[in-house]
Structure 1
Amino acid sequence: MTDFTNDTSMPRKRHMTASQREYYAYFAIIFVATLPLAVLTWTLTAVRQLALPSRGPVKSAWSQAQIITPRIFSA
């Protein structure tokens, strides 16, 4: 018979708390909301300068969501 009570090779499941789920939900909503504007801004900048901007639209929207979401939770 095998004893699995002290088996450390299996990773433990981590459960997200309610506040973490809420944070990720807000982050996803804000990211999806800022993505169209980031694409529009990126496109207009590329057309005006005839060169691609250094940051892509996804990275720009991601950084905006990283800025806005903690402000919601700190208020």
Structure 2
Amino acid sequence: MSDMTNGMAPFAVSSRTARRSRAEFAIYFAIILLATLPLATLTWALTALRTLRLPERGPLARAWSQARIITPMIFAA
């Protein structure tokens, strides 16, 4: 009789590890979002003053975008 296993059992991720990873990602995302919000607000205000009109994206959208870029970089390393 032949062995029908695929040999992937040691590499399987448990649901506990996946949950912990998602929670850790969310915590890092929140910290980075809060850290980038003041600078995004300042940039948004300076752009509004320079062009004399409100930019299309608000400061929260800018900070959210920056957090979405930075957080995966931390987890990729």
Give the TM-score range, shorter chain: 0.7 to 0.9
Q: Which runs of 5+ in 2 are unaligned?
A: 1-15
Q: Pairwise CA RMSD of aligned residues?
A: 1.3
**Structure with more of its chain in helix, by fraction:** 2
Name the counterpart of 2:52: 50
Identity fraction in percent: 62
Query: What TM-score do you get using the length of structure 2 for normalisation?
Result: 0.76
Q: Shift of the alpha carbon at 1:42? A: 0.2
Distance 1:64 1:52 in 2: 19
Aligned length: 61
Could you report, residue by residue, the CA deviation over 1:18-58 in whole angstroms, capped at 9, with x for unpaired residues?
10000000000000000000000000000010000011000
**SS class of match (2:55):** coil
Q: Which runs of 5+ in 1 are unaligned?
A: 1-14
